[in-house]
Amino acid sequence: MIEFCGLKLRHPVINASGCFDVLAAARVFGDELFEQFPFAAYVSKTITLRARAGNPPPRLWESAAGLINSIGLPNGGLRAYLETDLPALAAALPVPLITNVMGSTPEEVGEILDALEAEATVAAIELNVSCPNVATGLDIGADPDGLEALLHHVRPRSSKPLIVKLTPNTADVAACAAGAQAGGADAVSLINTLRALALAPGGSGAWLGGGSGGLSGPAIRTVALAQVSRVAQRVTIPVVGMGGVASGADARDLLDAGATLVAVGTESFRDPAAGSRIARELDDGFTQIAH
Amino acid sequence: MSAPFGRRHAPLLIRRTYGPYVVLGAGDESARAQPGQFYMLASAERWGGGDGERPYLARAVSVMSVGDEGLMEFLLEEVGPGTKRLCELEVGEGLLIVGPLGHGFDEPDAGVEPLLVGGGIGIAPLVAVQEAWGGQALLGFRDAEHAKAAELFTDPLVSTDDGSRGHHGFVTELLEAELAKQSRPIYACGPPAMLHAVRAVARTHEVDCELAVEAPMACGFGACYGCVVATVDGYRRVCVDGPVFDGAVLA
């Protein structure tokens, strides 16, 4: 049993936000999904105050040992999440729910946190700070002082554990993690996708409908390890490590680098049950060490 | 019916070719696919390390035929590093499969023989439709070499771009001629331009059409939101809301 921000988890493997839609998967795989649920906690895709259609296709580009995506956070908005998704998740989900949220202003984030406060189904909140700041064009999570200020503003709006999902597209991720901790975050999670670009053939510009995208998969595994390691040395709050995890050995590396939990993202696209396999491989590793 | 949860190993039992197309057959006793459904396929060995250090993700491939005892057949054409690796597999080698996935074709009303309009590799799901429910196949290919895949159908009508086999022209011209004789619903799969033309013909003749559309996919089970297509209700995921859509719903 793993203790994380007051949650008791069966094993240290969860999903990366936006990489598993449990309600869609239930339509495809039926009850077997819940009987063999691959994650110790379930992280929702990003919820925003208002509905978002997402970016125009194409949204995907397969790169060398990785994937560039520009999905654009499609979701039905906070109200639809509260009215439709949460009751369905409450009825079906066999593990704690971590709801991932994003707002383009501190007030928007605060409004979402207010609305989730009364929802017992939401065990914890993950705050996506990879949203561009309208004034600077930088991710709001890329500036340590700005991130700390955001946290000071929104932290009092929620009594639930608050995990800050850090962006890797910054000069000093450890400073951003320290800013999140100083602002009152209960944990940090990293890495989000690395900004990346795929060009359409013939010099006609960006391939993806949204322009640039985010790189994930084995291509970013060693970058994730470096960033998780630096962050874990800098902060005292728990760290959720992710980025290119495809095996128990990859998960073990992140745990050894200081992570408390490991999240699986793109590997679940290749195998929907990857989380279970990785947790099992980790456990087998523990057994070997014990013997 | 639900798909088994997770990725499974399936030995390749069949490999044969029709011109440039390769048929792969694998056993999957635990699942029965409906016409129009698909699997995510990868090779069990050496998936990756090809051109551009790809493939990485599995490839979405329509079920071409559902045989006895869960034998699934797929039709492939080499168009990139993923299909290249799949096409070079030999009998006895392993596939990694997830499926069957997606929303397939609706069964036609009793006694109705639909028109099955296919273009190129898009003929694949229509083989399964004809096996299950019958229907007149109208097939468009680049040339006679590609048109060898017409053998997969019973009594097809064929068109080719270069006139080297069958009607010299577009498959939609065959469709117009058939609809002029008898009004009947259309099941279609093929390149975007062909599907666009099929929808226009269906509107003109006021017949229903169901279209199997293709989109690059990362997962196949609704997780990534990468495969969306524009519909009158906004973007919809091809993998879970399709791949078969009512032609009137597509934007």
Q: Single out the residue in B42, B70, B101 at which a domain terminates.
A: B101
Q: With an 8 Å Cβ cutoff, are A67 and B218 in contact?
A: yes
Q: Which of B4, B54, B240 sits opposite A24 (nearest CB)?
A: B240
Question: Do the strands B8-18 and A261-264 form a parallel or antiparallel pair, or are they unpaired?
Answer: unpaired
pLDDT at residue number A286: 63
Cα–Cα distance, A55 to B193 (Å, whole number): 23
Q: Which of A31, A69, A270 sits opposite B226 (nearest CB)?
A: A69
Chain A partners of B243 at a C-beta cutoff of 8 Å?
none
Q: What average pLDDT score do residues A70-86 get?
A: 97
Chain B interface, best mutation among A60, A70, A193, A280, by max B CB count within 10 A: A60
Cα–Cα distance, B46 to A179 (Å, whole number): 44
Chain B partners of A271 at a C-beta cutoff of 8 Å?
6-7, 96, 98
Nearest CA-CA distance, residue A43 and chain B, Å: 12
Domain membership of residue B229 (yes or no) is no
Residue of chain A whose alpha carbon sits nearest to that of B57: A270
Closest CA to A85 of A72, A94, A76, A95: A76
Return the SS3 of A155: helix
Residue of chain B whose alpha carbon sits nearest to that of A275: B6
What is the number of domains present in chain B? 2
Closest CA to A140 of A127, A124, A157: A127
pLDDT tens digits, A94-115: 999 999 999 989 999 999 999 9
pLDDT at A133 over 70: no
Q: With an 8 Å Cβ cutoff, are B221 and A272 in contact?
A: yes
Closest CA to B222 of A66, A52, A26: A26
Same domain as B74, residue B155: no
Taking the mean position of all CA atoms in its chain, how far away is CA B143? 19
Q: What average pLDDT score do residues A5-18 get?
A: 97
Q: With an 8 Å Cβ cutoff, are B226 and A71 in contact?
A: yes
Domain membership of residue B242 (yes or no) is no
Residue A201 contacts B, CB cutoff 8 Å: no
Nearest CA-CA distance, residue A209 and chain B, Å: 11
State the CATH number of the domain containing residue B72: 2.40.30.10
pLDDT at residue number A169: 94
Nearest CA-CA distance, residue A211 and chain B, Å: 14
pLDDT at residue number B27: 87
pLDDT at A289 over 70: no
Q: Single out the residue in B101, B134, B161 at which a domain terminates.
A: B101
Residue of chain A whose alpha carbon sits nearest to that of B225: A71
DSSP codes of every residue in A216-281 = ESGGGHHHHHHHHHHHHHH-SS-EEEESS--SHHHHHHHHHTT-SEEEE-THHHH-TTHHHHHHHH
Same domain as B188, residue B143: yes
pLDDT tens digits, A54-74: 999 999 999 999 999 999 999
* CA dihedral of A257, A258, A262, A266, whole degrees rounded to 10: -40
Question: What was the ipTM of the complex prediction?
Answer: 0.95
Going across the sheet that includes A213-216, the strands are A60-63, A66-69, A213-216, A194-196
Q: Cα–Cα distances in Å, from B237 out to A73, A79, B95, B167?
A: 14, 21, 25, 35
DSSP letter assigned to residue A82: I
Same domain as B69, residue B128: no
Question: Do the strands A187-190 and A239-242 form a parallel or antiparallel pair, or are they unpaired?
Answer: parallel
Return the SS3 of A282: helix
Average pLDDT, chain A: 95
Q: Which of B7, B227, B240 sits opposite A271 (nearest CB)?
A: B7
Same domain as B199, residue B154: yes
pLDDT at residue number A291: 43
| Catalytic center residues of A | 131
Domain membership of residue B120 (yes or no) is yes
B26: domain range?
Answer: 8-101
Same domain as B87, residue B22: yes
Closest CA to B18 of B158, B159, B167, B145: B145
- Tokens, residue B109: 């009303």
- Which A residues in the span 41-80 are in contact with B, Cβ-Cβ below 8 Å? 45, 53-54, 57-60, 62-67, 69, 71, 74
> How high is the mean pLDDT in each 10-residue block of chain B (251 residues)?
92 97 90 92 94 94 88 96 97 96 96 97 98 97 98 98 97 97 97 96 97 97 98 97 97 88
Which structural domains are found in chain A, ordered by start? 2-50+76-205+216-290 (3.20.20.70)
Nearest CA-CA distance, residue A25 and chain B, Å: 6
- Tokens, residue B79: 């168009």
For residue B111, what are the contacts with CB-CB under 8 A and spacing of at least 6?
none
- Do residues A109 and A150 touch, judged by C-beta distance below 8 A? yes
For residue B238, what are the contacts with CB-CB under 8 A and spacing of at least 6?
B102, B213, B214, B215, B217, B227, B228, B229
pLDDT at residue number B20: 97
